[in-house]
Structure 1
Amino acid sequence: MTDHIGTAPVRDGLHGGGRRRELAAATVGSVVESFDWNLYAVLAPYFAADLFGHGKGGVNGVLAAYATFAVGFVARPVGSYLIGRLSDTRGRRLALSLGMAVIAVASLGLAALPGQRSIGVWAAVLAVVVRVVQGLAFGGEAPSVAAYVTETAPPRHRFAFSSVSYGGIILGSLLSFGVLTALIRTLGKSGLENGGWRWGFLVAALLGLGAVWVRRAAPESEEFHRARARQRPGGRPPFLRTLREHRRSVFTVFLNTLGGTVGYYFALTYLPQYAAAYHVIDKETAASFMTVVLAVVLVTMLLTGAAADRFGLLPVARIGFWLPVPAVPVLLAGLRGGWLSFQLVAVLLGMLVATVLGTLNVFTGLLFPTEVRAVGLGVVNAATIAAFGGSFPLLAEWLGDHHRLGLIPFYVTVCTAGPAVGLLTAMRVPSFAAAVQEAEAGIQRTPGSA
């Protein structure tokens, strides 16, 4: 394969310290990113009054906390551009280390932030500032990881690496619910609301510093070095021209990110509150069960990546990308009607999300050439997440307050159809189609090699 489609032809196999360091550097950052970001969402009901007050004019503190959650996403596209350009010009490792350092410092800032009783409205203002700073860092994190994994994964285990690296996001979510469960059991609900939530963000800061240490030992992408050596001075195209030249890739990333982010934030973050709104289960019990769901999701992602390496991307993606379209409305109808338990629905929805996320890092990374991979992929990804993922808890809370929660199943179903359409669009991108066809030809020549 050519460098354009992101192949790593020099080395192969799962052995070797370099490969382990590369995979560890990508995965540990994904863990911290997801843990930090989702910890805010699951702790929001407990720190909302402390930082945002009880609200005025009918706007409650939880709604204000979720609005701040969404504001953090607005900064993501800007961070994707700034850190993405740094990643494409100065290297993946520098961008990954810088972004993680900023994330760790911002988490520490949230842990130490005084409440409204101490500094009044400035508590809310500073919380917004910290979330914007985190948003900038998170915006550059995901595309840099996707680019790094696409360029360093061995060809015969490419989607296994993709599932492990993206699995870090699920592991981070699992840890966030685990920390919430541990805090509830040790401090109780009242203890969390009276400042115990700060311990969660302190743990996040420590994990971030550990990730920075791991990434410092990771080697730079060899493919990045080759692309940089080929590049002539002033040869990097302007950003808008990059989007125009790769418009099919842009559209594919949008569709896949749309389905992945809405499915993720509904099934793995907001579902406990959705079920509690229909009096199916109380919120704390549902949140505790999400640790089981996320463990199942992680295993499903790993199996999806291994299956894509073993049988080819297209057979796995056709099933995994299309199945959520009919399944999601049926599962949610069963949950609301009481003829399906919350536990069963949560597990099945999580597995449906996992089949999309398991191949996403490499799937989207293959759509762009090395020279513009991080910024091209990142800005589209971050803008989509900001518009549809970061706003989802706020949208759901608003619909609930206005007795329109019944619209959520329709919204989620439409969004989760995105990856199915995106797969059709991706096969019209010449470099992506060539990569898939060559990989599947290799599978036919060496059956059982995965």
Structure 2
Amino acid sequence: MATRMSAQRTSDSRSRSRRAAASGWIGSALEYYDWFVYAQAAALIFPSIFFPGGNSTVALVSSLGTYAVGYVARPIGAVLFGHYGDRHGRKNVLVLAMLLMGVSTFAVALLPTYHQVGLWAPVLLVLLRFVQGFAVAGELSGASAMIAEHAPFGRRGYYTSFSLHGTQAGQIIAAAVFLPLSAVLSDQAFDSWGWRIPFLLSAVVVFAGYVIRRRVEETEVFTKAENAPVRAPFVQVMRESGTDVLRAICMTLVNVIGVVVSVFGAAYATQSGYGIEMSKSVYLWIPVVANLVALPFIPWFASLSDRIGRRPLMIVGALGSGALSFAYLWSVSRGDVALTIVLAILTWGIFYQICNATFAAYYQELFPARTRVTGFAIAQNVGLTITAFLPSIFTLAAPPGSANVPLVVGGLCLGINVIAAFAAWSARETHRVPLESLGEKDAVPVPREEFDRLRSEAR
């Protein structure tokens, strides 16, 4: 009887873990579809329809600046959503974030252009991007907390990686929606009304997100922490875990790779001022292919982090992808589409994914349950806010007409990734720390032999 009850508990635990991972994947895919639809449009479409013409550099910098505005809103959303998630539950924060994101993205599709209403067009665009940033700040921190707290010991990295897997899938879907439209429609039709279709599809996000997220069970870890709530999670996490917040912010800077490949890289490859002028429809395939390659690697790298630790993967991924950014930008400068795709796959689809697959579990493990969503959300979103300004900074450092774009931008990218690697090196290892001790600086890791046994049982 005892054996049957134990087996039933194990089966129920695995079922909850899988449901949490599936919910995190689907929710992240839907929400980040919205986020990346905007990113693609900001680089490829918005400079010509929402900003005055006459100066390609000004229009491009302004458009990429609206992309960055969403990240400015993220720290604000991180504090508020983190507070809500640590005080009222992981599930509730995920539903609210999804609804705000879907509504704001749908509204972008209805905006008039600069030629129709003048300066009101970029003003309204900036306002809606701000709401997007506010909403997305609660997504990954809440989803990965939900998954990590449901995951079996020794498998947290693997299960938590599905929230990141969903973000990559969302980016693939976003680009895949743009691809047939840009291929079928003329440039005039695409710039006039075709670009609005991906934004209109966000109505699906609002409905699907609500249905999916309402069915997720709250975690037992939060339920226990709820008995001793923290009145001000932001104050508490900065007092208890301020150095870990700073480390995680620095590690988040590795996201400069996505900026170089998909945002600045798209502008560099397609905007006429740089003189390369790859086809927009062709260039849209580059992030799609890189992310398709990334999909099988994310759970594999995450599972590897469960075996050998989080720190080694964060360091190798940051340094490797930073070094490859030189070669990637050089291939773009040559207009070599095939080589650009290969290097995008290596830079973004493989080496960057070593970090991307690992960080969600790592950040969750750095903070205790009572401030976990807040600590993750603040660290990730402050780091992403910094990286969001890099497309505009890169454009100013290497403006259209520059002859040394790969050297300048590649050097900046590598330097930023060295900072991320150093932050990971300075952090403590967490993969063998039991769930109840996560975030405690004096926590004792489980001995390797015992950890391997428990991890094997959790499979």
Provide the TM-score with structure 2 as the length reference: 0.85
Aligned-residue offset at 1:210:
1.0
1:324 to 312, 321, 335: 321
The answer to whether the 8 Å contact 1:11/1:154 transfers is no
Distance 1:63 1:228, change over 3 A: same
SS in 2 for 1:230: coil
Residue 408 of structure 1 corresponds to 409
Instruction: Map 1:433-448; keep pairs closer than 5 Å.
Output: 437-438=445-446, 440-445=448-453
User: Deviation string for 1:269-321 (max 9, x for gaps)?
Assistant: 43344455473954432222331111001221121112223454455445444
Aligned-residue offset at 1:14:
9.4
2:246 to 248, 251, 258: 251
User: Deviation string for 1:27-53 (max 9, x for gaps)?
Assistant: 222112321111112122224333334
Residue 98 of structure 1 corresponds to 96
User: Deviation string for 1:398-433 (max 9, x for gaps)?
Assistant: 332372633110111112224422222221789567
Residue 386 of structure 2 corresponds to 387
Query: 2: CA distance between counterparts of 1:23 and 1:238?
Result: 25
The answer to whether the 8 Å contact 1:43/1:180 transfers is no
Query: 2: CA distance between counterparts of 1:11 and 1:349?
Result: 42
The answer to whether the 8 Å contact 1:116/1:124 transfers is yes
Which protein has greater RCO, CA pairs closer than 8 Å, 6+ apart?
1
**Code of the aligned partner of 2:257:** G
Q: Which moved more, 1:275-284 or 1:354-363?
A: 275-284
Distance 1:440 1:53, change over 3 A: farther
Residue 262 of structure 1 corresponds to 256
Query: 2: CA distance between counterparts of 1:447 and 1:223?
Result: 20
The answer to whether the 8 Å contact 2:71/2:133 transfers is yes
Residue 433 of structure 2 corresponds to none
Matched, 1:39 2:47: no
**Code of the aligned partner of 1:196:** G
Residue 427 of structure 2 corresponds to 426
The answer to whether the 8 Å contact 1:14/1:157 transfers is no
Matched, 1:136 2:130: no
**Code of the aligned partner of 1:130:** L
Query: 1: CA distance between counterparts of 2:443 and 2:347?
Result: 30
The answer to whether the 8 Å contact 2:155/2:455 transfers is no
Q: Which moved more, 1:393-402 or 1:294-303?
A: 393-402
Residue 271 of structure 1 corresponds to 265
RMSD of Structure 2 on Structure 1 (CA):
3.0
User: Deviation string for 1:56-103 (max 9, x for gaps)?
Assistant: x77643332211111121111001111111111111111100011011
Query: 1: CA distance between counterparts of 2:27 and 2:448?
Result: 30
User: Where in structure 1 are there 5+ consecutive unaligned residues?
Assistant: 1-9
Distance 1:66 1:11, change over 3 A: farther
Query: 2: CA distance between counterparts of 1:166 and 1:140?
Result: 14
Aligned-residue offset at 1:172:
0.8
User: Where in structure 2 are there 5+ consecutive unaligned residues?
Assistant: 1-7, 431-436
Matched, 1:302 2:299: yes
Query: 2: CA distance between counterparts of 1:439 and 1:324?
Result: 32
Query: 2: CA distance between counterparts of 1:116 and 1:314?
Result: 48
User: Percent identity, aligned pairs only?
Assistant: 25
Provide the TM-score with structure 1 as the length reference: 0.87
Query: 1: CA distance between counterparts of 2:307 and 2:428?
Result: 20
Query: 2: CA distance between counterparts of 1:272 and 1:50?
Result: 17
Query: 2: CA distance between counterparts of 1:62 and 1:14?
Result: 52
Residue 377 of structure 1 corresponds to 376
The answer to whether the 8 Å contact 1:109/1:130 transfers is yes
Residue 351 of structure 2 corresponds to 352
